[in-house]
Structures are given as structure tokens and as C-alpha cells.
Structure 1
Amino acid sequence: MKTQRPIVSTSASSDGEHRVLQFRPRTFAPVPGQRGNLSDRVEPAGEANDLSRYERDREEPDDYRHRMLANIAAFAFTVALTAIGIWLAMSIQDLRRTQDCVLMGRHDCVRISSPHR
């Protein structure tokens, strides 16, 4: 079997349109907002997992009461969404059951609720 090579015009290769770029893997992760010389940002291997540079001093303590209220509100919202989802699924199931009954040609498909004495 003969191998085929792509045809490249001489004008395209002379213009530098087709170039192979060297891949250089990154040895560091740049910090957002930090500028400067690249050699300043290269970290030694031992300090790669040190997260102390991301720590910041807090001027005011955490407001645990506000955090707890926000968590309770989020939990109540999640419970409400779950209840609405279950109600909606059961309503769709009931409508589907009624529609299947009507499409089969039956006339006694609608549920009639009787008051309890």
C-alpha cells in the first residue's frame, strides 16, 4: 500500500501558515490577579500544596446565626420543591390514567369522591 502525503502549496508554506508549535507543560498554576515575572511565580516542589497564601485575615467574625438561618431557609425551599415535584408527578399519573381509560372507550373513568359522614 502506498502512503499518501498531503499536497501543500509552496505559497502557504512560505507564508508560515502551517507551523508546528512546541508544547511546553506548565509547571505552576498562576494566581488570578498576580502579575510579574514568570520566574517569580515558579514554586518549589515542597510548597506546591501549601494553601497559606490563600488565607486572609477576617476583620469581623463569622455570623453563625445568619448562616444557620440561611441553611434552614435553603432546606425549607428544597423540601417545598420536593413536595411540589411529588404532587406534580402524582397529578400527571392520575391524568394519564384517566386519559388511557377514555381512549379505551370506557365511560366511567372520572373518579367521583363522596363526602364522608
Structure 2
Amino acid sequence: MTEEERQPEPPEEGNRTVENAVLAGFFVVLVAAGIWLLGTMADVRKAQDCAAQGRRNCATIEAPERTR
């Protein structure tokens, strides 16, 4: 066996770039989902705290804006 046959082939740069892009995209989606989940959990916690205090008007009601 010659010296060239013993050395493993280096990975292709094109595949590494695609893998890094996919991994970065997955990370961005994961962070966005985490932020959305934290916001939703905070809203639920506020509603539960309100209900635990015995209040009856805990649900938020969105009314349309009046136009003149």
C-alpha cells in the first residue's frame, strides 16, 4: 500500500456547508419555538393567578377599534 491509499479522503466542502446551513436553520426554529412557548406559558400563568384570586374577569376581551 502506498502512502496515498492509507490516508482517508477529506470530506467534501459542499456537503459540510449544506449541513451547517440546515443545522443553523434548525437552531433558529428551535429558539423561535422556545420563545413562543415561554410567552404562552406566561399568559397561562397570569390567567391562572387571576382565577386563583377569585376574580371573574380574567379572560382578555379584544374589542374592535371604533372609527369616527
TM-score by length of 2: 0.75
Measured on the aligned residues, the alpha-carbon RMSD in Å equals: 1.9
* Percent of aligned pairs with the same amino acid: 38
Partner residue of 2:54?
105
Displacement after TM superposition at 1:63 (Å): 1.2
- The structure richer in helix per residue is 2
**Structure with bigger gyration radius:** 1
Aligned equivalents of 1:95, 1:105: Cα separation in 2: 16
SS in 1 for 2:7: coil
Partner residue of 2:7?
57
Q: Summarize deviations over 1:82-108 as a string: whole Å, max 9, x none.
A: 111111111111000000001111111
Partner residue of 2:33?
84
Q: How does 1:1-117 map to 2 (within 5 A)?
A: 57-59=7-9, 61-115=10-64
Aligned equivalents of 2:41, 2:17: Cα separation in 1: 36
Aligned equivalents of 2:19, 2:64: Cα separation in 1: 43
Displacement after TM superposition at 1:115 (Å): 4.3
TM-score by length of 1: 0.46
Structure 2: gaps (5+ residues): 1-5
Q: Which amino acid aligns with 2:21?
A: I
Runs of 4+ in 1 over 2 A off after TM superposition: 113-117
